[in-house]
C-alpha cells in the first residue's frame, strides 16, 4: 500500500473505482429492468444509470490518484 499523502497505485484505484459501481448496477438489473419491461419506467432510464455509473467510476479513479498532502 502507499504511504499517507501518496497516490494510490493504479491497479488498486481501478479495482476500487469498478467495485464502487456494482451496488447501483445490481440494483439497476434487479429493479429498473423489470420496471421498464412492465412499462412503468421509460427504457431511457436504464442506459442513463449505466452512463452515470461510468462517470462515477472515472471520478473515483481520478480522485484516488491525487495526493492528499499540500505543499
**Which pLDDT band holds residue 65 (cuts at 50, 70, 90)?**
confident
Greater pLDDT, 68 or 41: 41
Using CA atoms, how far apart are residues 34 and 43, in angstroms rounded to an integer? 10
What pLDDT, on the 0 to 100 scale, is given for residue 27? 87
Q: What is the pLDDT of residues 21-45, one digit of tens each?
A: 999 899 888 999 999 999 999 999 9
Task: From 57, 63, 56, select the one nearest 8 (Cα to Cα).
Answer: 63
- Residues 6+ away with beta carbon under 8 Å from 61: 13, 14, 16, 17
Number of H helices, E strands in the chain: 4, 0
Give me the pLDDT at residue 56, please: 93
This prediction's pTM: 0.76
Amino acid at each position: 500500500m502507499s504511504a499517507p499523502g501518496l497516490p494510490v497505485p493504479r491497479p488498486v484505484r481501478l479495482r476500487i473505482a469498478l467495485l464502487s459501481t456494482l451496488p447501483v448496477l445490481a440494483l439497476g438489473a434487479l429493479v429498473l429492468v423489470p420496471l421498464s419491461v412492465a412499462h412503468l419506467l421509460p427504457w431511457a432510464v436504464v442506459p442513463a444509470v449505466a452512463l452515470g455509473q461510468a462517470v462515477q467510476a472515472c471520478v473515483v479513479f481520478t480522485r484516488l490518484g491525487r495526493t492528499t498532502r499540500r505543499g
